[in-house]
Structure 1
């Protein structure tokens, strides 16, 4: 039995599907099973219950445990869980001690290593789904506003992260691995906005604002904290002139090229139209 936390999230939902298609038994944790809309073959249970009976493998989405793992790992070990796959982050590679994203993900990684189980730490870079934050602007015809329009990144489709996660459960090839995952191409935010507009069949444009204005805008969002905002803006500034490394890991692990941002935009066109 594979227990998936964050099962209705961007990655978790696709992971549940990948595992079920491979014939695995899946227990999916969610805050509200009644609205989960997961496949009927999955055993959908409330997150707060956290039943570990019969579970041999565990997918940990830090978003579900941002205040800490609590007693999850000792309970999992006692229940017989042998393998943990963590949705970590490429931020863990950043040596800046002020990077709160890096610190939190490294904390999770270390706790899992110390638990004495088999582990795999997936380290994706920018999620293509971050672009959903532009949904309201693009729908209304307003410009998407942001700093550093020349900054480039290689956004990864959530389905590719889920596909790699599934391989980590279904084979032994990724035990002890920390694969860095990216999309197959480097793009700027203006290019991404244009691609979304083409996919959705509506005009979409980008407008540059100062880092100071962007900081105020980001801090107005309920899930953003000051330290996190400063880290994100620093990384964006560094991406203006820095090289973008395209990881080969998605193709190496899954046997097929990673999905392009245009494919992601086509998959999510109705979110913006």
Structure 2
């Protein structure tokens, strides 16, 4: 994958999101040119070395100019939803982009269960579209994002409390910088090692929600208590722009199912792809301590 000065141009959708922001910095550090797509360039706060471009991926305009001259695309469903992601993928094909790296979810299994699992449904169709696009591809199936813990920040700052229906729910939280590092390696891969691969990317250790709260307490030097609430209260708190009440209920029930039977193993994909171990949740809490104080 080359450009006129042997400097590939990578388009990053969702560039101001947690993964996208880390990815922009990593790609620039690795010597790539970056075109960062965002709704509001003036407020993006991205490095000056990046070409920050206004892009409403949910609109009706032609998206192909956003991909012009690009070697590769980082595609994130969170940047506008599934329809927008498919439109960006189609535009990449028309623009002659060679490679796409898709940010997906470890909930996708490639089995009929993908049609009934809430999170898998959101990503499996886009994975199929990527595979069918004719582009070189790599899929990064992230586990539970450590950044989900940022939802606790307002209540921690205000009252030193986290309210959850299932404090014993287990996951393997992954640092957004690790997801970005894996994506960067795949985007810049010159050997073909990562083409046609779907990597399940997790952190290095399984933790309960209560253990994550304790790690945030240690990182911030604060006493943080965990208060158990009903599933209905938890679902109500999760409802937002992209999450209906029924979808929130399904998520809360899924979390509850992990208390006694954690659904996913710990993956070594970060070390396999990048050559170094995955960052711990304790490291994530230290990196984000200011968000909770």
Measured against aligned partners, the alpha-carbon deviations of 1:112-156 in whole angstroms (never above 9, x if no partner) come to: 111111111110110000000000111112421111222211100
Q: CA deviation at 1:67?
A: 4.5
TM-score w.r.t. the length of structure 1 is: 0.94
Q: CA deviation at 1:5?
A: 0.5
**1:101 and 1:228 in contact (8 A); partners too:** no
Corresponding residue for residue 251 of structure 2: 232
Corresponding residue for residue 33 of structure 1: 41
The answer for unaligned runs of 5 or more in structure 2 is 1-8, 57-62
Please list every run of at least 4 consecutive aligned residues from structure 1 whose deviation after the TM superposition is greater than 3 angstroms. none
**Separation in structure 2 between the aligned mates of residue 142 and residue 103 of structure 1, nearest angstrom:** 35
SS of residue in 2 equivalent to 1:178: strand
**Separation in structure 1 between the aligned mates of residue 250 and residue 138 of structure 2, nearest angstrom:** 25
Corresponding residue for residue 76 of structure 1: 92
Measured against aligned partners, the alpha-carbon deviations of 1:201-237 in whole angstroms (never above 9, x if no partner) come to: 2111111122233223333x44421342133123212
CA RMSD of aligned residues (A): 1.6
Corresponding residue for residue 136 of structure 2: 118
**Separation in structure 2 between the aligned mates of residue 210 and residue 2 of structure 1, nearest angstrom:** 45
The answer for unaligned runs of 5 or more in structure 1 is none
TM-score w.r.t. the length of structure 2 is: 0.88
**Separation in structure 2 between the aligned mates of residue 227 and residue 123 of structure 1, nearest angstrom:** 24
Query: Residues 115 and 223 from structure 1, CA distance in 2 versus in 1: closer, same or farther, beyond 3 angstroms?
Result: closer
Taking the TM superposition and a 5 Å limit, the aligned residue runs for 1:158-237 are: 158-171=176-189, 172-219=192-239, 221-237=240-256
Q: CA deviation at 1:8?
A: 0.8
Q: 46, 53, 76: which one pairs with 1:45? A: 53
For the pair 1:89 / 2:105, whether they are aligned, the reply is yes
Corresponding residue for residue 3 of structure 2: none
**Separation in structure 2 between the aligned mates of residue 71 and residue 127 of structure 1, nearest angstrom:** 25
Taking the TM superposition and a 5 Å limit, the aligned residue runs for 1:93-112 are: 93=109, 95=113, 97-112=115-130
Aligned length: 272
